[in-house]
């Protein structure tokens, strides 16, 4: 008997609150009380519904409290045992294991094509997978498997803040039952469409390219048009003009991905790419330089009708206003004057190797990061400063950036979460489902 999620909606004057719970095809009747408890198997989720205190208020000056105008999207509040930010291989593996452990699990996924795995043309080093399978096929297979065991996936959920409330009940015992109280829903995740309250939180957002030194506007407009991940943000620029800066293989692949969405991709390269191709044709190219990128992919990119190549250009500034990025200013080698290209997105890959963990939404959360920006965890993948918060995959700034490593991180975290939420003293190796 398979697991699935059911969603119940309660319409209040200003909000829509959804309960998501894991069931075995059970039918659960609704309740009209202000506080509704639902028990399914081992799962217990509590929905504290707002009191309709203002329903009979005739004060016209307080009409703003009645919520958004009619027809406006309603904010959804979800409570679950495990909230996972990130739908890559690490997050999906963790969700698979926690769902199998009968823990209600929600994945907040910014974009289905997120991360390096989605744009990998062929998988050659993942155990048991035919090398003809693409990265996207493997990722979708991982997601399907997690959903089959009961995981709920919230698509296009961009997390802008998290909040971790004090865990005052931790370690206390109920005076009547002498049993340890369950963990509270004190990990709160905020997105434009959802507020998720979870008993445990998993950070699996991966990493992105590092910023360039001393580029005006880059840091200012990061998240407002400046991005280091085309696969994460490319879909937001459908039919818009974007700029890609860099001449690495990563920059070429990201620019290629953007051609699916952008009306024009302005590719700015600091080196002489055209000259390099000419030397390749003549057989006079330096092997070290030619090995930096795939010649076939490079020629394919330059042949795209919506790609405009700016050869030997130095990026000077990312321009913008209160709405975000409005353009990029650059100067070609040998030119006296700088030029501005009007764009809505700037994808920058000019810092050389390395990647930066995506942790911008963790500001003020108290979660400790290392000098390189990665979440610091113990061997159980748990944050060393925030109990019940786990980090997996490239967000830990691990040098082993492989799909199989990310997946194994997810497995370790899931087992640690089950131990944490169930109050076990040892890890339970697996869970048997009839």
Its sign, for the CA torsion 358, 364, 366, 371, is positive
Q: How many domains does the chain have?
A: 2
Position 209 scores a pLDDT of 59
C-alpha to C-alpha distance for 113 and 87, rounded to whole angstroms: 9
120 with 218, same domain: the answer is no
Domain with residue 41: its CATH number is 3.50.50.60
Report the predicted TM-score, pTM, of the whole model to 2 decimal places: 0.58
Asked whether residue 297 falls in the same domain as residue 406, the answer is: no
Residue 126: the pLDDT is: 87
Q: Which two tokens stand for residue 224?
A: 């407002």
Q: 11: part of which helix (H) or strand (E)?
A: strand 4-11
Q: Domain check: are 264 and 369 in the same one?
A: no
pLDDT tens sequence for the chain (434 residues): 344 344 433 333 334 445 555 543 332 223 333 332 323 333 333 333 233 333 444 445 555 445 555 665 567 899 999 999 999 999 999 999 999 999 999 999 987 765 667 756 567 678 998 877 888 899 999 999 999 999 999 988 889 899 999 876 444 454 454 455 678 999 999 998 889 999 999 999 988 655 566 789 988 888 788 887 787 678 889 999 999 999 888 889 889 999 999 999 999 999 899 888 888 888 776 655 555 667 888 899 999 999 999 999 999 999 999 989 999 999 999 898 999 999 999 999 876 544 678 888 898 889 999 987 899 999 999 999 999 999 999 899 887 778 899 999 999 999 999 999 998 888 887 655 55
116, part of any domain = yes
Domain boundary among 298, 321, 353: 353
DSSP category for residue 408? H
End-to-end CA distance of the chain: 7
d(CA 276, CA 273): 5
Domain ranges, residue 144: 4-206+358-422
353 SS3 class? coil
Of 300, 319, 353, which closes a domain?
Answer: 353
Distance CA 4, CA 277 (A): 54
Q: Are residues 20 and 146 in the same domain?
A: yes
Helix (H, G, I), strand (E, B) or coil at 131: coil
Residues 188, 80, single domain; the answer is yes
pLDDT of residue 325: 95
What's the rounded Cα separation, in Å, for the pair 427 and 382? 14
Cα–Cα distance, 286 to 388 (Å, whole number): 52
Q: Ramachandran region of residue 282, left (φ > 0), alpha (ψ -120 to 50) or beta?
A: alpha
């Amino acid at each position: 008997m398979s697991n699935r999620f059911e969603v119940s909606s309660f319409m209040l004057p200003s909000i829509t609150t959804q309960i998501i719970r894991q069931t075995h095809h059970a039918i659960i009747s609704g309740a009209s009380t202000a506080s509704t408890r639902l028990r399914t198997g081992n799962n217990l989720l509590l929905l504290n519904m707002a009191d309709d205190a203002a329903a009979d208020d005739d004060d016209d000056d307080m009409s703003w409290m009645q919520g958004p105008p009619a027809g406006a999207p309603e904010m959804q509040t979800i409570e679950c045992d495990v909230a996972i930010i990130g739908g890559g291989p690490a997050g999906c593996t963790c969700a698979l294991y926690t769902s199998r452990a009968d823990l209600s699990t929600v994945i907040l996924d910014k974009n289905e094509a997120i991360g390096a795995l989605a744009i990998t043309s062929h998988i050659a080093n993942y155990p048991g997978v035919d090398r003809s399978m693409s990265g996207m096929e493997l990722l979708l297979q991982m997601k399907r498997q997690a959903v089959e065991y009961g995981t709920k996936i919230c698509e296009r959920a961009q997390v802008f803040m998290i909040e971790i409330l004090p865990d005052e009940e931790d370690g206390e015992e109920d005076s009547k039952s002498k049993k340890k109280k369950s963990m509270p829903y004190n990990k709160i995740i905020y997105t434009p469409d959802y507020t998720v309250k979870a008993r445990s939180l998993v950070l699996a957002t991966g990493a992105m390219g590092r910023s360039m030194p001393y580029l005006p506007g880059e840091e200012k407009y990061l998240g407002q048009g400046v991005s280091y991940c085309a696969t994460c943000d490319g879909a937001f620029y459908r039919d818009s003009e974007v700029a890609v800066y860099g001449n690495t293989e990563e920059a070429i692949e990201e620019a290629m991905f953007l051609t699916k969405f952008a009306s024009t991709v302005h590719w700015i390269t600091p080196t002489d790419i055209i000259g390099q191709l000419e030397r390749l044709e003549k057989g006079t190219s330096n092997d070290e330089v030619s090995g930096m990128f795939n010649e076939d992919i490079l020629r394919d990119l330059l042949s795209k009708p919506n790609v405009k190549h700016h050869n030997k250009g130095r990026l000077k500034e990312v321009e913008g206003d209160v709405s975000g990025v409005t353009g990029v200013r650059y100067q070609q080698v040998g030119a006296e004057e700088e030029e501005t290209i009007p764009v809505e997105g700037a994808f920058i890959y000019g810092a050389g190797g390395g990647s930066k963990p995506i942790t911008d939404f963790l500001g003020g959360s108290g979660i400790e990061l290392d000098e390189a920006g990665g979440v610091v965890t113990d061997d159980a993948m748990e944050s060393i400063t925030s109990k019940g918060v786990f980090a997996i995959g490239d967000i830990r700034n691990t040098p082993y950036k492989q799909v199989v490593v990310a997946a194994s991180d997810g497995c370790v975290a899931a087992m640690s979460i089950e131990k944490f939420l169930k109050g076990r003293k040892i890890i339970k190796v697996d869970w048997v489902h009839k």
